Amino acid sequence: MTSKHPGRKQTPAQERTSAPEPIPEKALIMSGFGINSEMETKVVLARAGMGADIVHINDLIDGRFDLLDYRLLVFPGGFSYGDDTGAGNAYANRVRNNLWRDVEEFLTGDNLVLGICNGFQILANLGLVPAFDRQYKRDIALMPNRKGVLECRFVTLKPTADNLWTRGIEQLYCPVAHGEGNFFCSRDTLDRIRREKMIAFTYCREDLSSARGEYPWNPNGSLEDIAGITSSDGKVLGLMPHPERAMEFTSLYNWPLLREQMKRVGKPIPSGSMNMQLFQNIVAFFR
Amino acid sequence: MAASVHRIEVRYTRDPRLKTRTDRIRTLGFPIEELHLADVYTISTDARDFTQKELQQIGSQLMNPVVQECSVDEPTRIPFDHALEVGFLPGVTDNVGATARQTLEDFFSMKFGDGDSVYSSQLYFICGKLSEEDLIRLASTLANPLVNRVHRKTRQEYGTRGMDVIVPEVRLHELPVAEKVDLDIDDLELSRIGKEGISDPLSGQRRGPLALDLAQLHAIRDYFTKKGRKPTDIELEALAQTWSEHCKHTIFASAMDDDVPDGLYRTYIQAATNRIRKEKGEQDICVTVFTDNSGAIIFDDQYLVTHKVETHNSPSALDPFGGALTGIVGVNRDTIGFGLGAKPAINVYGFCVGDPDSDPALFRLKDRQNPVLSPRRILDGVIRGVGAGGNCSGIPTPQGFVYFDNRYSGKPLVFAGTVGIMPREHEGRKLFEKRAQAGDLIVMVGGRVGKDGIHGATFSSEALDPASPVTAVQIGDPITQKKFSDVIVKEARDPGFYRSITDNGAGGISCSVAEMAKECNGCRVTLDSVPLKYPGMAPWEIWISESQERMTLAVPPEHIAPLLELMQRREVEATVIGEFTDSGRCVVEYHGNVVMDIELAFLHDGLPKKHLKTIYTKKTFPEPAIPCPERLDSTLIAMLRRRNLCSKEFISIQYDHAVQGGHVLGPVQGKGRVQADSSLTKVVPGSKKGVGLSQGMFPSYSEIDPYLMAGAGIDTAIRGLVAIGIPLDSIAILDNFCWCSSDEPERLGQLKLAARGCYDTATAFGTPFISGKDSMYNDFSGFGADNNPMKISVPPTLLISSIGIHEDVAKAVSMDAKVDGDLVYVIGETAEELGGSEYFSHLGFTGNTVPGLDTAAMKERYGRMTEAIRHELVASAFPVTHGGLLIAIAKVAIAGRLGMDITIPAGMRPDHYLFSESLGRFVVTVGADNKRAFERALGKNAHLLGRVRGTSLRITQETTVLDLPVGELEAAYKAPFLRY
């Protein structure tokens, strides 16, 4: 099971030499009720060149912040409501029951929405993905993992569509950490998300060949190895793994081995990781 | 019963967990075909009823229609043979029910009142022919009688009406007043009050142990005689809480023999830290030691890090899931309660349990009544508990261990620890200092108070006995805690809304308020203001309840309005329950009457002093007279499969160790995924520094030599950090003593030696203790299956946890062999030290020669290792610990999925050389180009053993000792827990 990249000249981690010029557009990162990855999400966006406010959902409901002041809405990872009544479900209910009009208006603008892990589960329950024909209903489910427990491990992802999110990405290598990430949908839905090239990332082996549903490469039993999909209009991305948790070279699972191998052949040791590209793509969209 | 009750059952139309769930139950020996599951919500309301249409809407909010369906007020219709519903007992925390209630409140824009609630339960549909006995056993596998209710029906009984609607409402009829207690009684009656509790005037039943001995009760009687009045029940209960072993640590505080007049803690633990800090002078890393909820050391110019490790043994014995969960969320509060509030950044865990394949059949009562949970159930439960706590709270859990020994079958040990991060200052205010002032309001923040956890502190101070109260168990609610943790640490701390903070752990507000009252010398509390989960609680219960997820704050009156407004916006309950004073007294009122009025001086220092006597007799054990096997191939395979040496990766990956984005060296490392002994985590974004954590624990050495046992723990905890590149001078340590039968002089004799070992080793290395905790009665007394009385005591156990700061994580070293052709070294000296070793245990022996400690040589060696790593000369490093050199070599090879050619020196028996547990050693691999530089750096400490080569591990002395493919080693290492 050695990590080979046949026919590829790839640096597994890329150096970002200087901090990019920040863009004026801002991101709103949701928090509250057990969401817990808001800080690292803010840090990664800042490194990519986008400022962000972390906003408690109650402060949005109270009108202290206005969603429409922002261009990117992020539902970060976490354990909102302790996964009670289904992961992401209770938080999605809170959004739908209190903020739906703002969210709908936000979606009509030239804005982006990103949901990672628990955020993806919230998007799925809100129907923001796949959102065929801008119909926001539940068409997919992120069911409990096949093994029935939360699992935290690094996975390899490859992009399966060329869109604003995946541009320039050869692979992502980052952790999953979820108990309910087992993607499922009906045959009709699957056909349509395939046809419309909405499957953004799939789980794969280290050599980027298909995981074919096999554990541990596909960590949760997801249909067609699906790790992330976009909305029908491409403006919304839901992704189970956590690229924001592995933004530095030293956060990669295998970095000590890579460092040693690079040192032996005299290659410079990078500081950033390939996972930054996803966030740089978001910033590029607004730039 | 409420006016209207409805029942919604949700089930997967396509259940992805069906196979795993079914397989799991089958491996436990139940002949089931399939096990289906439905989530049940019982909605009970007085305020309004819901129409069928509304109930359908509620149903669709509680499920995902893509894969689930629900039935409203109608039974789920699927084929099955037996239906079994597991819900909570009245008053037990029901997190799922609470979330469903909030969703309903949002959807209907209504607020649930006192009579309205949603209760969750799980309905199991069993397909298969099970006997009555099987079903009872299955029910006890799926449910815990201390927290769960079980309702069972056959297919016929289920019929077309389904399960019964059950509303587990709390109904209490107790008269909520404070009673006077007469202590002018004979000593026999007096000790009954201490042992079994105050007799309830209405029921005549005892209220549960106060754990006060006769001398303490006499001191209390004398105090109140002088006052000219009788104590109230709440006063007695409060004194029992404050004076408990759990809170006061009397055994560590009392004078011992003639040579330790100041007690073990002051003489050996605190004195070690004081001496080290003095010797280090300007280089002192300590910020706060022993005095606060956690200990703290310097992280960098701006930040400090805190660490605290707690035990939660007694509750985990009764309810492993709930006990471990409250253990970990409880120690998170020791972080939030440090200084003015540190942010929890890393969780650690440790479990000591019996052999999970054994079923010791122990009972707390005669005639096979009140069985002790099997080690397997305890292990499963505590693993899930720590996971739920850390995962739900968004705190990474990269570090921990499991240790197996059948002496933990009567009572498991559950360690839970948390590292916190906090700026040292904010706008000139030192955030690690706090002081309540007279006039500050006492604010209780977080969950409400119920009967759960009554007598938790006094109960853990007694050995587990038949009368253990069921209310001693609590279930935590990590999300309630996450809500107040966020608002306190991220929003309320920096504006200075409060002057002091502490957590409500053992003893509830009785301990937290009285503790903070020391800062200003007095407090006055009105119990009527304390928000309750349900009416009908007596004042003493409110005062000492250990309901979870609560903090106590001291808020200056001018800040109370903004604080309460902020808490309300975050949906965190915060209530003013009194004020701090300078009266020198702790005064509690209820219904307009003063029910407690005790001088703080007596409350905190009135405890009569003890003078403990110890005895120590050195034990000797038979030595094995077994010749060395000609080859060690099968021995190594057997050793790698030993529970204490093999992979428990299934635990590591259930715990999110990447959240907060600081993962550098995780719980498993290398291509071969081997569990490491230490972890490294970044806790400040943008900083090059990281926090390293490790631990050491050698209960198998305790009966042979408790002094060296303690030394081995400290050396191992330190060495784990040196191996990843952390210098000795930035390391601090924590002690957790888990002893047994601490009323026996022999056990105290072992304790004294272990404490002296702590002092000598810590001062020799210059690593200060910053925090510690002890748990002194880890014994089980009860009966075997045939009514024979049984006592099982844990082996004297000392866990040493270490924390250190890595200067530059990019230079950290992992454990896996990396490149074919690299050189393999053992650093440090190997002697024939196999007493208490895993190898001797494998042979069925204990032996007598535990590893010795040459701390001066080790300290010099560790300095050299640090330099070699700083100069990037080391490709991998791994400390040699349990199982000895060969186990360490095998793990390094497995982790790298690379073979090695090793030649070991002549002279010693190969098995003794390879399995000796001599301390102070590392296995290191080094690139061939760095040979000279590395050997110069390490000097005589470096012993070249061979090379990384091929795919097999080959060991030669004069002849081949061992030759095995690394793949086979990996399979053996991972086999024992493969199906967990």
- Helices in B844-965 by DSSP H: which ranges? 855-870, 884-896, 910-915, 931-938
My answer on whether B592 and B649 are in the same domain is no
Query: Distance from first CA to last CA of chain B, Å, rounded?
Result: 43
Is A244 close to B661, i.e. CB distance below 8 A?
A: yes
Q: Is B488 found in the same domain as B349?
A: yes
The mean pLDDT value for B289-317 works out to: 94
Q: Read off the pLDDT band of B19 (50, 70, 90).
A: confident
pLDDT at A1 over 70: no
Residue B210 C-beta-side C-alpha neighbours within 13 Å: 27
Q: Which of B99, B486, B652, B808 to mutate to test the interface with A (most CBs of A within 10 A)?
A: B99
Asked, for residue A4, whether it belongs to a domain, the answer is no
Q: Is the pLDDT of residue B806 over 90?
A: yes
CATH number of the domain that A173 lies in?
3.40.50.880
Same domain? For B421 and B490 the reply is yes
Identify the pLDDT of residue B613. Answer: 96
**What is the CB-side half-sphere exposure of residue A180 using CA atoms within 13 A?**
27
Q: How many other C-beta atoms can be found within 10 angstroms of the C-beta atom of residue B558?
A: 8
Nearest CA in chain B to A271: B810
In terms of domains, do B643 and B603 share one? no
Do B575 and B648 lie in a common domain? Answer: no
pLDDT of residue B789: 95
pLDDT digits (tens, 9 = 90+) for B870-907: 999 999 999 999 999 999 999 999 999 999 999 999 99
Which positions of A are annotated as active-site residues?
117, 242, 244
Q: Quote the pLDDT of residue B458.
A: 53
Name the residue range of residue B53's domain.
4-158
Nearest CA among B86, B93, B6 for reference residue B39: B86
A vs B, Cβ pairs < 8 A, gives 211
Write the pLDDT tens digit of every residue in A22-49: 999 999 999 999 999 999 999 999 999 9
Q: Answer whether B394 sits within 8 Å of A78, measured CB to CB.
A: yes
What is the per-residue pLDDT across B946-975, written as a single tens digit (0 to 9) for each? 999 999 999 999 999 999 999 999 999 999
Measured distance CA(B877)–CA(B926) in Å, rounded: 9
Tokens of A259: 């460092």
pLDDT of residue B95: 85
Q: Amino acid identity, residue B613?
A: K
User: Between chains, do B479 and A34 touch, taking CB under 8 Å as contact?
Assistant: yes
Mutation for testing the B interface, residue in A260, A262, A275 having most B CBs under 10 Å: A260
User: Has residue A98 been placed in a domain?
Assistant: yes
Is there a domain that residue B242 lies in? no
Confidence class for position B448, pLDDT limits 50, 70, 90: confident
By percentage, how much of chain B surpasses pLDDT 90? Answer: 80
- For the cut 80, the answer to whether the pLDDT of residue B470 exceeds it is no
User: Is A125 close to B569, i.e. CB distance below 8 A?
Assistant: no
Contact A147 B876 (CB under 8 A): no
CA neighbor of A286 nearest in space, from A159, A129, A112, A163: A112
Structurally, chain B folds into a number of domains equal to: 3
Whether residue A12 is contained in a domain is answered as no
Same domain, B755 and B894: yes
Picking from A81, A147, A184, the nearest residue to B66 by CB comes out as: A184
Is the residue at B856 inside a domain?
yes
Q: Is the pLDDT of residue B104 over 70?
A: yes
* DSSP string across B397-448: --EEEEEE-GGGSSS-EEEEEEEEEEESEETTEETT-----TTPEEEEEESP
Contacts of A53 in chain B (CB under 8 A): none
- Asked whether residue B507 is domain-assigned, the answer is yes
pLDDT in tens, A48-104: 999 999 999 999 999 999 999 999 999 999 999 989 999 999 999 999 999 999 999
**What is the domain-level CATH number for residue B578?**
3.90.650.10
Q: Are residues B766 and B640 in the same domain?
A: yes
Q: Tell me the chain A residues in contact with residue B61 when contact means C-beta distances shorter than 8 Å.
A: 85, 89, 93
User: What is the residue range of A151's domain?
Assistant: 23-286
Give me the pLDDT at residue B479, please.
Answer: 87
Task: Collect all residues with Cβ–Cβ distance below 8 Å to B480 and sequence separation of at least 6.
Answer: B446, B447, B549, B572
Which chain B residues are within 8 Å of A93, Cβ to Cβ? 61, 103, 106-107
* CA A137, chain centre distance (Å): 20
Task: Answer positive or negative: Cα dihedral of A204, A210, A211, A212.
Answer: positive
Average of pLDDT values for B861-877?
Answer: 98
Contact between chains at B685 and A78 (C-beta distance less than 8 A):
no
A151 located within any domain: yes
Q: Are residues B402 and B332 in the same domain?
A: yes
Residues A138-164, mean pLDDT to the nearest whole number:
95
Q: Which pLDDT tens digit goes with each residue over A178-192? A: 999 999 999 999 999
Does residue B529 lie in a domain region?
Answer: yes
What pLDDT does A6 receive? 39
Domain final residue pick, B135, B158, B181? B158
Residue A127 lies in a domain: yes
Is A11 domain-assigned?
no
pLDDT on residue B754: 98
Domain boundary among the residues B133, B158, B183 is at: B158
Is the pLDDT confidence value at B20 over 90?
no
Each residue's pLDDT tens digit, B580-592: 999 999 999 999 9
CA distances from B266 to B252, B260, B338, B776 (A): 8, 9, 22, 17
**pLDDT (tens digit per residue) in B722-758:** 999 999 999 999 999 999 999 999 999 999 999 999 9
Looking at residue B693, its amino acid is L
Give yes or no for A249 touching B (CB within 8 A). Answer: yes
Q: Is B206 inside a domain boundary?
A: no
A184, B17: Cβ pair inside 8 Å?
no
Rounded average pLDDT over B76-81: 93
Q: Which residue of B has its CA nearest to A221?
A: B16
pLDDT at position B469 is 41
Higher pLDDT, B539 or B894: B894
pLDDT of residue A2: 39
Instruction: Report pLDDT for B28.
Output: 81
Checking if the pLDDT of B364 tops 50, the result is yes
B334, pLDDT greater than 70: yes
Is A265 within 8 Å of chain B by CB?
Answer: no
Q: How crowded is residue B344: how many other Cβ atoms within 10 Å of its Cβ?
A: 29
pLDDT surpassing 90 at residue B824: yes
- Position B247 in a domain: no
Residues contacting B596, CB < 8 A, separation 6+: B178, B232, B234, B235, B238, B543, B586, B587, B588
pLDDT band with cut points at 50, 70 and 90 for residue A219: very high
User: Which of B143, B158, B173 finishes a domain?
Assistant: B158
Token couple for A102? 């703002």
What CATH number has the domain bearing residue B31? 3.30.1280.10
Backbone angles phi, psi at B884, to 5 degrees: 85, -170
Residues B955 and B836 in one domain: yes
Report angle CA B34, B39, B40 to the nearest 5 degrees: 125
pLDDT value for B472: 54
Average pLDDT, chain B: 93
CB contact under 8 A, A261 and B106: no
Q: B661 with B589, same domain?
A: no
* pLDDT tens per residue across span B166-212: 888 777 655 667 788 999 999 999 999 898 888 887 777 888 888 89
For range B443-449, the mean pLDDT: 91
B659 and B724 share one domain:
yes
Whether the predicted pLDDT of B213 surpasses 70: yes
User: How big is chain A by its Cα radius of gyration, in Å?
Assistant: 18
Residue B575 has pLDDT above 60, yes or no: yes
Instruction: Return d(Cα B493, Cα B425) in angstroms, integer.
Output: 11
Domain count, chain A: 1
Quick one: pLDDT at residue B253?
Answer: 92
What is the arithmetic mean of pLDDT over B388-398? 95
Say if residue B695 is in the same domain as residue B566: no
Structure tokens at A189: 């839905």
pLDDT at B398: 97
User: Which positions in chain A touch B654 (Cβ < 8 Å)?
Assistant: 149-152
Chain centroid to Cα B105, Å, comes to 35
Tokens of A121: 């589960």
**Cα–Cα distance measured from residue A241 to residue A246, given in angstroms and rounded to the nearest whole number:** 10
